[in-house]
Every structure is written in structure tokens, then in C-alpha cells.
Structure 1
Amino acid sequence: MAISAAVVQLLLQMHFTHTLSYSDHTRSTLSLSLSLSLSQTEGVRVSVELLSESVQSPLLFVVRQKQAVLSFQVPLILRGLYQRKYQYTQVGRTLCQPPTKAVSETQFFYVDVSTLSSAGVHYQLRVSRVDSFNLLTDKKFSFNATPSQPQFFKYVFPDGLDTVIVKINSQKNFPCSVMSIQDIQCPVFDLDNNVAFIGMYQTMTTTAAITVQRKDFPSNSFYVVVVLKTEDEACGGPLRFYPLLPDELMDAGNRSKTLDVIVSPAINSDVYVMGMLFCLGIFLSFYLLTFLVACVENKRMNRKREGLLHPVDTSPAETASLLGKAPASPCEYGSFADNGSTLSSEAVTDSLASTDGNYGYLERSLESVGRCRRESLSSVEEDDYDTLADIDSDKNIVRTKKFLCVSDLSRKDKRVLSKKYQIYFWNIATIAVFYALPVIQLVITYQTVVNVTGNQDICYYNFLCAHPLGALSSFNNILSNVGYVMLGLLFLLIVLHRDILHQRALQRKDTAALECGIPKHFGLYYAMATALMMEGLLSACYHVCPNYTNFQFDTSFMYMIAGLCMLKLYEKRHPDINASAYSAYACLAAVIFFSVLGVVFGKDNSAFWIVFSVIHILATLLLSTQLYYMGRWRLDSGILRRMLHVIYTDCIRQCSGPMYIDRMVLLVMGNIVNWSLAAFGLIHRPNDFASYLLAIGICNLLLYFAFYIIMKLRSGERIQFLALVCILFTAVVWGFALFFFFQGLSTWQKTPAESREHNRECILLSFFDDHDIWHFLSSIAMFGSFLVLLTMDDDLDTVQRDKIYAF
């Protein structure tokens, strides 16, 4: 059957609603023409409302203009998740404005309307001028949008302004929206199904912000496009399950949103320079402070040495008085003095040797010092146990004494132990190289994908304080990690200086270095310094594009730092039985493995949390047994039989208390803490599994550190002034650091749109945000914590090891 066609031409008027209709069984094409004088600050918007309740075929609108053609249908069909279809009978579209050099020019517009509907169709067509089409700097503008009526506006860079931040805010979380920055070109992609085709874009609920640079837009201008999505799943809204019928149309509902847009100037190059100078200045000041402290300490030691080596016109009794000792008690040399100070027997010998006259007294003093040194080689608790003949060779007998001294647990050859602990450093250096190279390659790929696709939902920045530099989207978050590297290097230099001094003392056979103080092995310190520097590097890599898939980059070396600190604390009093580097790093690798599994599979996975909690508790029990028995137990087929025997003999038969009270108190508290953490994880199942795992390590480290300090004070030892200052300073800095850490400027446990709800402006120098300050303070706090471990036992440097308790 032939279909008749009719072409109707009408002259369209601005700001006037045209109500039109078609007759039945007629294929019609309506051509509307319009000439309009537009300035560069104005735009044109076409709005259509379908008045008929139902139509057999949609109306097709084609808008022809200079250098562009726009087409859309009414009712408009938009697709959502799982290809669900939503129908909209009101459609509004803004026409793109091709670049023009004239301030004002006359443009011609043609609107062609056609349909294949056999029934009558009624609709309203309106063409209106958009007076606020151009956005102005620092001027807020409000507008409404719906999924079928998107909005976009134009912004032109003024002279002297190269970077701006486009911010959009709304009082309503939903409907979910998309903000896009597009170059000035036609057509403009302003629908839910094509807005991600070009430019930069991000989803939003209440807040969105994109930093835009002039160099990325040759026309020195860009479009700000706002589109409402048909569904809210992309922004974390409820997931609604509907039957998926091929021809079913979902109810679009009343999805409208009022938004505010403002374009603000970004920081200039001077702020970048000021931020970098501030960052470097803060951490270089620690180098200067360390140098000054070293100079003061060196000068004090020189004065002390001169006072000991050059006593003028003093009698033997006066010489002994100068050393803080009475000559009647020569065995006091090398142990605690009445006033709490200690001196090595070598210092006594040197002082006496430098005294003129009375050589008989000198000989008697030297003989008494040598006798005291020989007598002190046995433990002060010698009468508390049977001294068997093989006590020097059988470690089972030594380690099961009720009271142990450091001399009992530092019996291995010093060269062997030194090589053992140096392996920690070389292993972590090797791990760092092989770990860092693929990480750097991966984050470069992440940043390239973000720059090429424009999808800013990939990375979880604080977009309100993300300052780009070159290809990097958030340079300030990367720069603030330099503190870890600089302070890690400084700590390594401090340890190296101490290591050199100790080696020199060993070469000249200094008695204090050979027989006094905590045995000095620096391999773990070197490993800690390397781990701190690697934490800075990997944290910077993570902040190139922070998201849940690469969060392990930021936490892997945090686990290592916590583990190495605990190993160093234990190694101070137990150098012979501390874990080897291979077993320690194998355990840390298992921790990182569980961290990856938790991030990928841990969310709402009951099986994973049950398995992890069981492994956590079993590992705690095994480690407790290892620590309590000083490694003198075996994990074999007879372990259950021996456990039952111990329970029967010690708890049922005679109900004797634990032999090692102090160790038992520590391990009971440790088990309570770890079992509580395991129960918390199993019940609440925190989304951020990596942080939960890190919290377990930090809690155990703090518990052991507190135990160490308490036992040190209980043993009659003291904390020197420098170590006490480091402890107090570090505690205060940790407090402030944790305050800024818990501000939570972004979170990858939620959708990108929900994460941006936590974004906040810069608070320091208009360049650094709360998380940057966390980087500053945490790096300083870690450096201070390392100094505490390094200096807390300096008071024992002149105390013989058989007078130092192991706990």
C-alpha cells in the first residue's frame, strides 16, 4: 500500500511553545527554520514534550545547524544495568556552539520532525535561548537536570589563568550523576550511554571536582557536561532486580536533580615551588638537628674522656672517687654504681694507668679488676640452679634457667651472628628491587590509562586538593612521601656511624664492646632503614593512582616494618635464638599473601574469615609456645601427648604456677589481644582488610614494646635522657599523625562517587591536604620510633652482660 507524504514548513519563534500534531495514516515531515543572532556567551536549547499518552512509533527530531547535526527521538529510550530500558517523554538538548571569532553572529537552525506512527501524535516543541551558557570564574551557577534533559555549559580560559578546578555540588545524593569535561566540538556527548566517549569524566553523588589545564584544550575553552544516569548502581545506590523481559519498559520515575557549578582558579607555579621547598626544608632540618646533636655528644664524650685520662695531682682514693667508686670495692668496676652510672673496666684501667706514682696500687687495682671480670662471667643467679658440667655446651640447660641473662643468650660466635643479621639487610634490598620495578611499571600504566581514557573513577584521589604536574594527576600526594625516603636514609647513616664506632672498638679490643651492653648487631637496623625508604617509594607509587587493587603497595612494607621492629626488640635480649632472615621474610610473605586474598575475596566471604581467624589463633598459640620455651620444643606427632603430660603434671597433679612468670604474663596478654582481634574480624568483617591486618601487627608491636619498657624498669635499668626525649616526642607525633590519618579524605571501600563525598580542600600552603600531613607526621614518627629502638639500651653499654636480664 502506498503511503502519502507531506512536507510542512514553518517559521519557528524563540521562547514560544509550538503545539503540533499529525493526522492518521500519514507519513509527515515537518521542517522548522529559525534564524537567531547569538553572542559568544549564549546558547540554544531545544525541548520537546510528548502529549500523546502512547505512540506506535517514536518521533524523530533532527536539528541541523552550522557544522553540526543533532538527532534524538521522543519518547527517548535509555538503557541501564542488564540492558533494562527506561522511557522518557520529555527531552531537552542544548545545541553545541561552534567556535567563532565574532562577538555576535546570526545562525540558522533547521528542525526536521518525522514519524512512522499511524495514529495521531501530539507534542510541544520549544526553542529557547540559554543566557548563562558561558560560566564565569568564581561565580556559582545553579541548574536542573534529568536523564533525558542533560545540561552543558562553556568555559573560556581568561588571560593569565592556565589551570582551573571545576566543582559541582548538590544537596541530594541521588540520582547518580556524571560530570564530564569535553573539548569544544560537535556533537557534544551528553547522554548516559555516550558521555564517557571523550574527555574527562567522573560519577558523583553530592560532590565532583576536576582540575583542567589550558594546555589540554587548543581552543582555550571547554564544555562542562552534566548527565543524570538512569540508575544509581554506579554511585552505590540500591541494586534493584527486575524480571528481564525483552520488550519491558521500566518506570523512569521522577529523576531530577538541582546542581551548583563553579569554576575556581587553581594554584600557580609559585605554590608548587613553595610546597616543594617546605617539604624538603622540614626533613633537611632533621639532618641538621642530627648533626648538631652528634657534635654536642662528641664534645661531651671528649670532655669526659679528658677528665678520666688526665686527673691532675690526685691520690688513688681521689681517683677512685672521681670514677664514682670507692677503692675498697674494686669489684664494683664494670657494674652498676651507687649513683646509677657505669664505667667499663677498661676505662678504669686507662685512668689508673695515667695516674703518676703509687705503682703498687696500680698493680693491685689491675689484679682486682681482672679477678672481678673473671668472677662476673657466671650469672648472678648461679646459686639458684645446679651448675652442671655441660652447661656451657648444652643450650637446653642454659635456656631453661628460671632467670636468664643476656650472656646466656649471646654465646654464639660474634662473626656468625653478624653475618646472620646482615642477611636481613641484603634480603630486604633484593626484595625491594624485585618488588619495586613491576610496581613502578604498573602504576605508570594506571596513570596512562587514566590520562588516555579520561575515566577519573579509576583512581581515588582527594579531587579538591589534587594538584597535577606533568602526567601525574596528584603530585602533592606523591611529594609528601619524600619524608620516608629522606628520614630512612638519615637513620641508615646514623646506624652506619654507630656500626663504624663499634667496629673500631672491637679492633682495639675495647672491653666494653666485647663484654658489656646489649650485643650490637646492626643488620636489622639496616633492614629497618631500607624498609622505611621503600615504604616511601611504594606509598608514592600507590598515590599515583590509589585504588583497592594496588593498596597492597602502600601496606606491604608497613607489615615488614612492624615485623622487623618486633624482631629487633626480641633480638636485643635474645641474639642467639632470634629468627633467621629466611623464616622471618617467609612469614611476612604469608602475611602479604593473606592481605591480597583479603582485599580480593574478603568482603562478605564467610569462608575466608573463618579460615583466616583459625590460622590467626593457631599462629598466635605456636608463637607463644616458641617464646615461652625459648625454642626448646618440637612440633611433631608427639606434641599432643607432651601437652597433655604438661597439663597433667603442672595443672592437675601439683597445680604449680608457671615457671617463667614474666613471659607468661606477656603471652597471656598477647593471646587475649589477638583472640579479640580475630573475633572482631570474624564478627564485623571490616571492608579494609589490609588495614585490619596492619592493625594486628601494630597492636602486637605496641604490646611487646610496653612489656619491654616495663621489664627494663623492673630490672633496675634506666632510660637515658636522649632515649626518653625520643619516646615522648615520638608518642606526641604519633598522636597527631593518627588524627590526620582518620580524617578519611577518600576510601576505595566505597564507589568513586561516594568516596568523593569525603573530599576536602587543602589545609597547608594551599598545596597539602590532611593525608599529606599524615605522610609528614608518620614518617617523622617512624624515624623517632627507630631512634627509640636504637638508643633505649644505651644505659647498658658499660654493664657486663651477665648483669643484664633477658626477658
Structure 2
Amino acid sequence: MAGRAAPAPGALLCALLWATAAAAGGGPGDNPAPGAFGRVYRGAVNISAERVYAFAYRSEPGQVDAVRVYVNSSSENLRYPVLFVVRQQKGVLSWQVPLIFRGLYQRTYNYQEVSRTLCPSEPAPETRPSDQVIFVDVASMAPFNIAYELLVTRLENFQLETNKAFNFTASPSQPQYFLYKFPQDVDSVIINVVSDAAYPCSVVSVQDIVCPVYDLDHNVEFNGVYQSMTKQAAITVQRKDFPGEQFFVVFVIKPEDYACGGSVPSSIHGNVNRTWNLQRTKNLQVTIVPSIKKSVYVQAMFFSFLGFLSFYLGSVIVAFVHYISTDVKLTVPFGSVFIAGSGIMTSSHPISASTPEGSSYGAIGTSSSSGGHQLASPERRAPPGSDTDSSVEEESDFDTMPEIESDKNIIRTKVFLYLSDLSRKDRRIVSKKYKIYFWNIITIAVFYALPVIQLVITYQTVVNVTGNQDICYYNFLCAHPLGVLSAFNNILSNVGHMMLGFLFLLIVLRRDILHRRAMEMKDIYTLDYGIPKHFGLFYAMGIALMMEGVLSACYHVCPNYSNFQFDTSFMYMIAGLCMLKLYQTRHPDINASAYSAYASFAVVISLAVLGVVFGKNDMWFWVVFSMIHVLASLALSTQIYYMGRFKIDLGMFRRAVMVLYTDCIQQCSRPMYMLSDVPSSLSLSAIFGLVYRPRDFASYILGIFICNLLLYLAFYIIMKLRSSEKLLPIPMFCIVATAVVWAAALYFFFQTLSSWEETPAESREKNRPCILLGFFDDHDVWHFLSAAALFFSFLVLLTLDDDLDTVRRDKIPVF
């Protein structure tokens, strides 16, 4: 628990009262009138007349006695308020009537009725009852009489009980607080506070047993932990944080609703009318329930790790089945053996009937699809398995044969393209190009994650030191702390992304090793059949999935407005890398470079940040964003449509006008390709954003990426089936699993439990209890399911074209 020092309230006022009383010929303790609990005392005071009441009572051993003082004055004279000073055995409490609160824009709120609970006396260590006395001094510096009322009562329901709801009423000038003691078998409790009305705005605070108790709007944040509240609040309290194993629960009503997202009242010369003050009463219900036990933490961790270890077991079983099926299969004619699931065919001798001697990587001899050109000679082809044999090749060395440059413009203008037309470059160079994706994303991950981790540690430290639980937007009804972490469950649920991301890297590594072995054996099916195997993008996807888990966990250390991009940055990368991988499958030679791809992702992330900052009410931002969106979509579509042969420079506008004139005006020509290669960002999404301007701009951008990815994947599968290609059992299972798991994951994603776009108090209205093992909430289930869905999605991309491993590349269409 943390607090800050504050001056003892009423010290100066008490000294002034003594001096005034002495000047009048007596002290505040002279001839005090005996007072009775529960009786209303009425009187008048002025500069020369004050009143002193003494209330005596007997405290029983082990009993905590709480006393509440109610005062009222009909005077609204702010120049001469009535001063009340309450003296106890170990403290002094003072206030004035009218009681003045100051709000936003120097507005003042004046209250004629004030009610305060006195700091309760500690239980007497003696075994016998002890006598206690309380003095209440009433005074004023006014030269005329000011009437007042006084009522002192002993509280019967001051101590809260476990699992028992308690109802009460509070207002800005009449705060309430209660005592709670931990039962012997309870180490952690959750304080649940609910109200039937959102406003007035209130604050719930948990403070140590220290006097004075900070129970006013201007000092409630001085000690303990606190939350603002509209309809509900929840604070988890642990026994270890309170040496005395007891604490106060303080309820303060704020004089205005601005802090909770409400409106600010209109005022005249800074003073709010009396009607507004009379409406500042709130009915509250508090219930303290035991939190989960340590055994639940252990169960939740076992559930998380064992659940995802089952994926490892399933992968081992599938690999073992493939190994067994390979041993069971007999040697087929010509000595070939097919390894299921790995896409490798070893051969004792080449199939010379279908493969000419001069075939090269990606092109099989002279065929109708290659325009009658022999692409490479056996001498020019690099030795198989020599991906890393040479370090002198660079990305600028792609076109190692002079005739390729002239072939580009000829081959890529054909109406019907085959894979051999777009896989003509040296395999080693192309593999190095895609490996750059892997090394670049590792570099990005390191330089991105380190400052993120440092920042969230700072956030968590600030929350723990200041006690301000409005900084982070948790689901407080299901936020289980562990150590310094306030919501360990939201962090633990991200373990799936890291474990499944690592598993995907292992699966890709296995395929990569098998592919290298086949290349070393000069397997003809690996060299000239099927989709060219480049694993750099797959490795990058696995790293991105792991980093999504790391950064999502960092975001959930303290989710708020300032660090939302931690949770979404690698989501953009995952969606983008998947689209690039789909495109690279049939266009291995002309896919985007890693540098341009990651630069595009950086632009998207920057737009997402700007959209959250300026996109809520700024119409100009949406106009500019929509223009950028449409132009970028047109540029990407044009570049893809012309197979990378369209140059984006200052002359592109003149060329575009010429194309429109010749193909649309001068003569109506049909498109060169019947279907577009990739569904670009839909212009409808830009129009939607411009018209509706969604509040969650980051999710809006992510939705564009996901929709485009799904459209492209659907387009790819449809074209694959239309081209008489097959879906093998494993990719078919992955497609079904992906659809089912994504549907379930999205259901839980849309169960909004908090929102950093609103005030902390409004966000807590969405909080809901745990739904899984008493430890995980809906958003944690989204983490589990989304990790599995992404894993299955990656497997779809990895295995989708396994049926083509025995098909010549000059027979595989491009789409």
C-alpha cells in the first residue's frame, strides 16, 4: 500500500478556535454540555458565543466503535461559515458549513448538510471496558447569530461481513466508509460495488487503518488504492498488503461527473445552483467476496500449458503416421518413394520422358508456357542444396542471365501464365530474398519489444505506487494479481501464441530440412515439380505469431489509450505476411521485397496511431486517410495486374491516361487477365470509414487487413478447385478447423469487457466475471482460440498446395 503525507486537517482551525474562545473569556473545554447519542441539538453561534458538547460512551473489549456526526446550517454566507471541530483521544477532525468543493473550470459547489464518520478507536487491549469521550465544538466568526443542527450517532453496521451485501447512501458532503477484517482462511477478497444509477460519479477507495481517513473529494487519492465508478467497481485486496489484516473501504461522491464521462453543469459566475447539489445522492451496495485460492492459479497454468502441449503431441503423431506410411509403401516403378506430408520424391533416375536435359529450376525444358525459350543449361544451374554456399550474391543479382530481362516483357504479357513463367530466377537468389523477411522481423521484434517491456513495467510501477487503478483498463471482476502484476490471467492466456508460434517454426524447419535433403539428392520432383519451396516467409510468420503473444501480454500488463498499438502492430504484420505468402506461391519471382513490405507495415501502424489520436472528431483526417487508402489500393492493384512491370514514377499518370484512352475510349478492349490476381483493399471500406467514422480506428484498420486476407484466401481456393487441383486431407482438415475456431474466437472477441476509448468508470460498466476455471474471462478465451486459429491458418498456407508436388510447373496455372 502506498500513500502520501498530508497535513493534519483542522490543526490551524483548532488553534484559531482556542484563541477566539480565550479572547471571549473562556476556552472551548469550559463547561461542555453533555451530549446524548441520537438526539438532535439546535442552537446558534456567533463571534462571542460558541457551543461545546461532550459525548461519552463505554467501549467493550475487542469491539470497534464508530461514531458519525451530522451537522446542518441554513446559512449560505460563505464569508462567515459555521466551524465544527471534533476532538477525540488521538485525533482532531474539522470542517465548515457551508462545505465548499471546487470542480472543473473553478466551479464551486456549496453544501449546507455535512455528515462525517469519525476515525474509530482501536480495540482496547484491556479485558475490561474502557470509557471514551468525544468533544464537538461549534463556533463562528460572524457578528450575528447563525443557526445550526447537530446529531451524533453510533454506527451499528460499521464492519462489513464476507458474502453479505450492504446497502447505504452517500453524497459529496456525506461520504461513507466501513471496516473489513480478513477471516482466518481468506488471503484475498474482491470488493464488489454496484449502483442502480450511473451518476453521480463516485470514488471507491481502500485505505489502511490510519487516522485521519481521507474521505473527501480533494483528498481521497492521498492514500491507498482507488477507482472511479458509475454503475460498478471491483477492487481485489490481498491480506499481505495490510499488516493489521483489516482495512477501510471508503466511498466518496464527486461534486461533478466530468471524471466519469458525464456532463458538467452550467454555472453562473462559477456557482452551481442548489438543485444540482440536492441531486448528488447515490445509493450503493457493497459486497465483499473471497477471491480465488492459490490452487486455482496452479490449475490455470497447467490448463494453459498442457492445452497447447497437446498441439505438439498431435503434430508428433501426424509426423509419425507419415513416417509409418512411408515405410509401408513399397518401392514404385523406377525406384521412386513418396514421403507423405513432406512433398519429397526421391528417384533413382530422372524421368527423362518428361524432363529434357536442359531443364532448370522453375522451368521444364521447352514448352508452350515458356515461349519456346530454354531458360538454363545444366552447367548454369546451381548445385542443389547450396543455398548458403555463396555469400557474394545479393538481391540486385536476380537476373543472372541476359535473356531473362528480355523475356520478362514477353512472358508476363501472355494471357495465360503458368508457374514456370514466373519461377525463372536462380533459386539461391530467390531463397535469399525471402530469408530477409525472417532476419528483418527478428530485428524489428527486438527493437520494438525492448522499449515496450520497459514502458509497461513503468506503468505497472506507477499503478502500484500511486494506487490509481484508473490508469489501466482491466476487467476488474476477473483480474487476478500475481506479484506486481495486477491481471496475471490476461498475461498467462497469451502463452498460446508463443507456444504455437514456436511449434509452427519447428514444422517449417522439418519441411525445410527434408527439402534440403531432396535437393542434395538431386530429386527431380523437388527441382522441377510442384510449387517452389521458399521458407523465409513461413519463418517470419512464426516469429510474428510469437511476438504477437509477447506484445499482447505486454499490453495487458496495463491496457490503456497510450499503448494500444502494442496489441495490434504484429496483427497487421501477420495479416500482411499471409497475403504475401499466398501471392508468392504462384508468383515466386515478382513478390515484394522485405524492405518494401515492412516499410508498408510501418506506414499502416503510423496511420493507426494517428487515427486513434485524430480520427474521432476530425473530418479532415478521414478525408486524407480515405484518399490515401484508395490511391494505395489502386497502385497495388495496378502493380499486381501488370506483374510488377508497371513503374511508379512521374510518368505513370501520362501512361495511365494513354491506357484509358486506347483501351476504353479509342477501342473497347477486354482486360488482359480475366480475374485479378489479388483482391486489393476495397474502396467500400474507405467510404464506410469516411461516412461512419468508427471510434475504434485500430480495429477498423485491422478489419480491412483481415477481410482482404479472407477474400484472397477464398479466391485462391476457388481458383485452385476451378483449375482441377485437389485439397488433400490435411489442408482440408486445417481449413475446417480454421473456420470453426475463428468463428468461436470472434464470438468471444466481440464480448467487450473494457474499452480504453471511454473513461475508466464507463469502461468498468462492461466488466464481467470469469467464465473459465474461475480464472479466465471472455478475452482470455479469445486469446486461446485466436492463437489456435492463427496456427491452423498458417498450416493451411503451408499445406494447401501439397497436391501439386507431382505436377510439372509448366502445368500449374498462375492466379
- Normalization by structure 1: what TM-score? 0.90
Q: Secondary structure at the match of 2:752?
A: coil
Conserved 8 A contact 1:207-1:756 = yes
Q: Please say if 1:75 is aligned against 2:83.
A: no
Structure-2 change in CA distance of 1:257 and 1:739 (3 Å): same
Alpha-carbon displacement from aligned partner over 1:229-277 (angstroms, at most 9, x marks no partner): 0000111112345455599999524210110001100001000000000
RMSD over aligned CA atoms reads 2.7
Alpha-carbon displacement from aligned partner over 1:272-322 (angstroms, at most 9, x marks no partner): 0000000011000000010001000111122225455789xxxxxxxxxx9
Deviation, structure 1 residue 227? 0.5
Deviation, structure 1 residue 653? 2.0
Deviation, structure 1 residue 650? 1.2
Alpha-carbon displacement from aligned partner over 1:491-539 (angstroms, at most 9, x marks no partner): 0000000000000000110011111111110000000000000000000
Residue equivalent to 1:179: 204
Conserved 8 A contact 2:64-2:122 = no
Alignment of 1:568-647 (within 5 A): 568-647=581-660
Rounded to whole Å, the distance in 2 between the matches of 1:105 and 1:4 is 35
Equivalent of residue 535 in structure 1, options 535, 548, 553: 548
Q: Secondary structure at the match of 1:635?
A: coil
Residue equivalent to 1:32: 53
The one-letter code sitting in structure 1 at the alignment partner of 2:467 is G
Conserved 8 A contact 1:343-1:799 = no
Q: Please say if 1:396 is aligned against 2:384.
A: no
The percent of aligned pairs where both chains have the same amino acid is 57
Conserved 8 A contact 2:56-2:131 = yes
Residue equivalent to 2:40: 17
The one-letter code sitting in structure 2 at the alignment partner of 1:539 is S
Q: Secondary structure at the match of 1:27?
A: coil
Residue equivalent to 1:86: 109
Conserved 8 A contact 1:42-1:134 = no
Q: Secondary structure at the match of 2:50?
A: strand
Equivalent of residue 377 in structure 1, options 343, 365, 372: 365
Rounded to whole Å, the distance in 2 between the matches of 1:692 and 1:384 is 49
Residue equivalent to 2:439: 426
Rounded to whole Å, the distance in 2 between the matches of 1:568 and 1:342 is 18
Equivalent of residue 521 in structure 2, options 498, 508, 517: 508
Q: Secondary structure at the match of 2:663?
A: helix
Deviation, structure 1 residue 38? 3.7
Conserved 8 A contact 1:531-1:557 = yes
Residue equivalent to 1:355: none
Alignment of 1:212-223 (within 5 A): 212-223=237-248
Q: Please say if 1:108 is aligned against 2:133.
A: yes
Alpha-carbon displacement from aligned partner over 1:69-103 (angstroms, at most 9, x marks no partner): 11111110011112211000000000111432548
The one-letter code sitting in structure 1 at the alignment partner of 2:160 is L
When structure 1 is superposed on structure 2, of 739-748 and 49-58 the one drifting more is 49-58
Rounded to whole Å, the distance in 2 between the matches of 1:559 and 1:454 is 34
Q: Secondary structure at the match of 2:424?
A: coil
Rounded to whole Å, the distance in 1 between the matches of 2:50 and 2:266 is 41
Q: Please say if 1:478 is aligned against 2:478.
A: no
Rounded to whole Å, the distance in 2 between the matches of 1:342 and 1:163 is 53
Conserved 8 A contact 1:85-1:248 = no
Conserved 8 A contact 2:41-2:151 = yes
Residue equivalent to 1:254: 279
Conserved 8 A contact 2:198-2:230 = yes
Alpha-carbon displacement from aligned partner over 1:185-223 (angstroms, at most 9, x marks no partner): 100000011101110000000000000011111111000
When structure 1 is superposed on structure 2, of 680-689 and 162-171 the one drifting more is 680-689
The one-letter code sitting in structure 2 at the alignment partner of 1:120 is N
Residue equivalent to 2:320: 295
Conserved 8 A contact 2:531-2:585 = yes
Equivalent of residue 62 in structure 1, options 62, 72, 85: 85
Equivalent of residue 648 in structure 1, options 618, 640, 661: 661
Q: Please say if 1:497 is aligned against 2:510.
A: yes
Q: Unaligned 5+ residue runs, structure 1? A: 312-321, 324-340, 351-365
Size of the aligned set, in residue pairs, is 757
Q: Secondary structure at the match of 2:675?
A: helix
Deviation, structure 1 residue 347? 4.2
Structure-2 change in CA distance of 1:55 and 1:448 (3 Å): closer
Equivalent of residue 781 in structure 1, options 789, 792, 805: 789
Residue equivalent to 1:708: 716
Equivalent of residue 420 in structure 2, options 396, 402, 407: 407
Deviation, structure 1 residue 392? 7.7
Structure-2 change in CA distance of 1:378 and 1:767 (3 Å): same
The one-letter code sitting in structure 1 at the alignment partner of 2:464 is N
Structure-2 change in CA distance of 1:405 and 1:240 (3 Å): farther
Residue equivalent to 1:791: 799
The one-letter code sitting in structure 2 at the alignment partner of 1:542 is Y
The one-letter code sitting in structure 2 at the alignment partner of 1:29 is E
Q: Unaligned 5+ residue runs, structure 2? A: 1-19, 376-401
Conserved 8 A contact 1:613-1:682 = yes
Alignment of 1:354-373 (within 5 A): 368-370=353-355
Rounded to whole Å, the distance in 2 between the matches of 1:308 and 1:554 is 54
Structure-2 change in CA distance of 1:484 and 1:144 (3 Å): same
Rounded to whole Å, the distance in 1 between the matches of 2:161 and 2:310 is 44
Q: Secondary structure at the match of 1:147?
A: coil
Residue equivalent to 2:696: 688
Rounded to whole Å, the distance in 2 between the matches of 1:345 and 1:167 is 65
Structure-2 change in CA distance of 1:278 and 1:50 (3 Å): same
Equivalent of residue 144 in structure 1, options 142, 148, 169: 169
When structure 1 is superposed on structure 2, of 629-638 and 469-478 the one drifting more is 629-638
Conserved 8 A contact 2:76-2:112 = no
Alpha-carbon displacement from aligned partner over 1:554-602 (angstroms, at most 9, x marks no partner): 0010011011101101110111110111111011011111111112222
Deviation, structure 1 residue 17? 0.5
Q: Secondary structure at the match of 2:617?
A: coil
Rounded to whole Å, the distance in 1 between the matches of 2:431 and 2:140 is 88
Q: Secondary structure at the match of 2:32?
A: strand
Q: Please say if 1:167 is aligned against 2:192.
A: yes
Conserved 8 A contact 1:41-1:132 = no
Rounded to whole Å, the distance in 2 between the matches of 1:72 and 1:60 is 6
Alpha-carbon displacement from aligned partner over 1:429-466 (angstroms, at most 9, x marks no partner): 01111111110000000000000000000000000000
Equivalent of residue 289 in structure 2, options 248, 257, 264: 264
Deviation, structure 1 residue 5? 5.6
Rounded to whole Å, the distance in 1 between the matches of 2:269 and 2:627 is 42
Rounded to whole Å, the distance in 2 between the matches of 1:35 and 1:3 is 28
Conserved 8 A contact 1:379-1:803 = no
When structure 1 is superposed on structure 2, of 31-40 and 162-171 the one drifting more is 31-40
Equivalent of residue 778 in structure 2, options 765, 770, 773: 770
The one-letter code sitting in structure 2 at the alignment partner of 1:190 is D
Conserved 8 A contact 2:77-2:98 = no
When structure 1 is superposed on structure 2, of 438-447 and 96-105 the one drifting more is 96-105
Alpha-carbon displacement from aligned partner over 1:631-687 (angstroms, at most 9, x marks no partner): 1112223222221221122112221211101117x55xx45xx21111111122222
Structure-2 change in CA distance of 1:707 and 1:373 (3 Å): farther
Alpha-carbon displacement from aligned partner over 1:399-450 (angstroms, at most 9, x marks no partner): 1111111111111111111111111000100111111111000000000000
The one-letter code sitting in structure 2 at the alignment partner of 1:500 is I
Conserved 8 A contact 1:51-1:124 = no
Rounded to whole Å, the distance in 1 between the matches of 2:345 and 2:285 is 79
Rounded to whole Å, the distance in 2 between the matches of 1:551 and 1:418 is 35
Deviation, structure 1 residue 709? 0.7
Structure-2 change in CA distance of 1:650 and 1:183 (3 Å): same
Rounded to whole Å, the distance in 2 between the matches of 1:265 and 1:342 is 53
Structure-2 change in CA distance of 1:246 and 1:173 (3 Å): closer
When structure 1 is superposed on structure 2, of 391-400 and 131-140 the one drifting more is 391-400
Structure-2 change in CA distance of 1:189 and 1:592 (3 Å): same
Structure-2 change in CA distance of 1:391 and 1:67 (3 Å): closer
The one-letter code sitting in structure 1 at the alignment partner of 2:326 is M
When structure 1 is superposed on structure 2, of 58-67 and 476-485 the one drifting more is 58-67
Residue equivalent to 1:761: 769
